[in-house]
Structures are given as C-alpha cells and as structure tokens.
C-alpha cells in the first residue's frame, strides 16, 4: 500500500466550501465527473457534509481517497 504523504495544515473552512458550492453556476453541463452543481447545492445536509469532508481531505493531503479513484 502506498505510504501516505504529509498533509498540509491549512484547509478551507466549511463556510468557504459551502459558499463556493452555493456560487456554482446552475443549469450548466456537468464536468468530467458527471456531477451537476444542483446535486451538490440541493443534495441535503449529508451531501454537503460529505462534500466538505472530501474537499478538505483532497486540499490537505493532495490526494483523492483510493475508494473514489
């Protein structure tokens, strides 16, 4: 198994991430991930919490969790 790289200390706050999600343009084509902005914006609290957790992990550790790649 790959050795984990050292994570950086700074990570975007929950408010910064939620604000960025809120400001995503609506009614646009999805990107390569196939996820529409509306899903992230209107997916409920669990979707928002999981998105925040994922963004913070990727930002800090500069890696996508293996279960998502």
pTM of the predicted model as reported, rounded to 2 decimal places: 0.79
Residue 45: the pLDDT is 96
Give every residue of the chain whose pLDDT is below 50, as ranges.
Answer: 1
58-61 long-range contacts (CB < 8 A, ≥24 apart) are 59/8, 59/10, 59/11, 59/12, 60/7, 60/8, 60/9, 60/10, 60/11, 61/4, 61/5, 61/7, 61/8
């Amino acid at each position: 198994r790959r050795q984990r790289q050292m994570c950086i200390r700074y990570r975007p706050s929950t408010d910064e991430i939620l604000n960025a999600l809120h400001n995503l343009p609506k009614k646009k084509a999805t990107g390569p991930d196939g996820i529409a902005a509306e899903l992230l914006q209107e997916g409920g609290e669990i979707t928002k919490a999981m998105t925040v957790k994922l963004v913070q992990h990727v930002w800090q550790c500069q890696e996508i969790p293996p279960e998502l790649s």
